[in-house]
Amino acid sequence: MTQLKIKVYYFSPTGGTLAVARHLAEALCRELRTTAEYHSYTLPRERETLPAFAPDDIIIWATPVYAGRIPNKTLDFVRAALSRQPGLMAIALVAFGNRAYDNALAELVGLMRDGGLRPVAAAAMVTRHAFSDTLGANRPNEADLDTLDRFAKQAAGRILTDSNDMEPLNVPGEAHPEKYYTPLKTNNAPAGFLKAKPSCDSDRCTRCGTCLDICPMGSIAIKEGVPQFDGICIKCQACRRSCPAGAIAFTDPEYLSHVAMIERTFASPKQSEFFV
């Protein structure tokens, strides 16, 4: 086998997905005695150009789970990117906020197969939920990362085998789902916050511009000296969590009811899951 190289592609508005992708890549590098490159597709400008793969690349594709699937505003980019170099081995990685990953992992593996890649391993890692400070707090923990290291060792073994007659990778869920998870309120009625957007407290805002730079949709602009949220909002929480002054908040009642529901219903720790 020629010299392999790990290439990590990630969508990570609040950093949780990148953290687990980096840990996995570093563990794989130790096993395969190689190096890793990291490529974000989080920001709009990073999705303007499709990635270039080399014949000996091992792809780690990492994404958070939004409503049980791959974030819909990134789906076209992911589909096109994963069709660039048929035949490459790939690892699918999704990060979910202690609720469920539903069809997200199967969807990512399905996109890899549709693009001609060879998915050899897949993982669904518990991370802190973007909406909440308590749901999935301090995840992944040490036990999660130990399990991720063991998964990396197994994945490396499969990569080194590099046999076309290996058993196909099986993960739970639908490879081509049509629906997303329906968020619920505390009364279990559907929560309608699709068009909800954050707001900025102009008295607390320091005009630093951080939120403009990190919005994955490029939807924030300065008007009358303070951020305005006029474009598409995917509720990723990047602006809120990155604001050094704590000036940004989501106050939509339907959204807040959903947050209360998931914090109450999914408080028990879920387990990360691995497939080789």
- Inside any domain, residue 33: yes
| Any domain includes 193 | no
Same domain, 131 and 16: yes
**Domain total of the chain:** 2
Instruction: Give yes or no: residues 67 and 156 share one domain.
Output: yes
Note the pLDDT of residue 1.
Answer: 47
What pLDDT, in 10s, does the model give residues 102-119?
A: 999 999 999 999 999 999
Structural domain includes residue 117: yes
Mean pLDDT for the stretch of residues 48-75? 97
Does the pLDDT value for residue 2 go beyond 80? Answer: no
Reduced to 3 states (helix: H, G, I; strand: E, B; else coil), residue 124 is strand
Mean pLDDT, range 7-33, rounded to an integer: 98
- Phi/psi for 100 (5° steps) reads -170, 155
Residue 124 lies in a domain: yes
* SS3 state at 147: helix
Same domain, 88 and 215: no
pLDDT at residue 143 in the model? 96
Mean pLDDT of the chain: 95
Q: Give CA–CA dist 242/197, Å, rounded.
A: 16
Residue-number span of the structural domain to which 36 is assigned: 5-180+268-275
139 and 241 part of one domain? no
Q: For 40-66, what is the mean pLDDT? A: 97
Which residue is listed with tokens 């202690």? Answer: 98
Counting every residue, how long is the chain? 276
In whole angstroms, what is the distance from residue 65 CA to residue 214 CA?
19
Residue 242 has what pLDDT?
Answer: 96
| Residue 53 sits in the same domain as residue 132 | yes
> How far apart, in whole angstroms, are the C-alpha atoms of residue 112 and residue 133?
33
Q: Do residue 222 and residue 133 come from a single domain?
A: no
What are the helix and strand counts (H, E) for the chain? Answer: 7, 10
Cα separation, 63 vs 91, in Å, equals 12
* Distance of alpha carbon 101 from alpha carbon 231, whole angstroms: 27
Chain centroid to CA 243: 21
Q: Is residue 121's pLDDT more than 70?
A: yes
Q: Are residues 176 and 207 in the same domain?
A: no
Residues 38, 26: Cα–Cα separation, whole Å: 11
Q: Tell me the per-residue pLDDT of 227-247, one tens digit each, with 9 for 90 and over.
A: 999 899 999 999 999 999 999
Q: Is the pTM of this model over 0.85?
A: yes
CATH number for the domain harbouring residue 214: 3.30.70.20
pLDDT tens across 141-200, in order?
A: 999 999 999 999 999 999 998 766 677 899 999 999 999 999 999 999 999 999 999 999
Distance separating alpha carbons of residues 72 and 64, to the nearest angstrom:
11
